[in-house]
Structure 1
Amino acid sequence: MAQQGVERRGLAKHDLARTSRMALYGGCIFGPAATTWFKFLQNRVRLPNKNAEILARVGLDQVVFASTNMFVFLSSMALMEGSDPKKKLDSTYKMALQKNWLVWPWVQLINFKFVPLDHRVLVVNVISLGWNCYLSYLNSQGGK
């Protein structure tokens, strides 16, 4: 999506390896991690006030999971590309995390408030269609 919809590369210039890296990350790293994380939040973050509970879950999600996931994503992309993870992190991590915090707290507020546990990863995956376009573009630009 990023290569064709955002960058308008055309099929002849489509980078299949880049698409494969994104799919590998989503299927083998993010999907299982997000499922486990959402179960952890549901089972371990319990407060008497349900709105405070949701805010606590969103806060933990953004401080712990989002920051860790961004680190793992950028590092693993650099390794799969054969580039230096430290350079990738130095050039993109801060900007990507800041952009993350503009989008995902709102998504997760709605997700944790209204969506049953079994469907939360699905909601994240739907929103991630656009978000991953941004990450793929950012990663391919090296944070330029």
Structure 2
Amino acid sequence: MRRTFRHLAVAAPFALASLSAFAASSGAITVSDCWIRSMPGDTPSGGYFKLANASNKSIDLDSIDTEAFGMAMLHQTQSSGSTSKMVMVDKATVPANGTLAFAPGGYHVMFEKAKKPLTIGSTIPVTFKFGDGEKIDAQCAVKNAAGQ
């Protein structure tokens, strides 16, 4: 029994540190589950995450910035019948006391002009900028095309 508690005491800080690498908050907004799809060569990469708004007013995500890429743009996939297209958007609104998911087939970030090849399993620092002036720095995991 004593040994189990000792293992937990040693493992707990590492588990908490790994969680904090993928969730960040400041004020009313929390960013979690952030990941970037690794693509070959100069192919643009998609970025995905979840936003949670704990305030009683909607908050706009205005932009995303990272030193790892030359450009980051907010996009939304729009479908019409059997065709889909990506459309650049100026902002994405996180509803009051609600959530907004950036996921394949919906809202996403297009990261272009990678400054160096992405390594699956690494993390990339990303800054999220909101309409109320709030900025959140988060670490986004680099994953393969299947999100693993």
For normalisation by structure 2, the TM-score amounts to 0.30
Structure with more of its chain in helix, by fraction: 1
Larger Cα Rg: Structure 1 or Structure 2? 2
Structure with more of its chain in strand, by fraction: 2
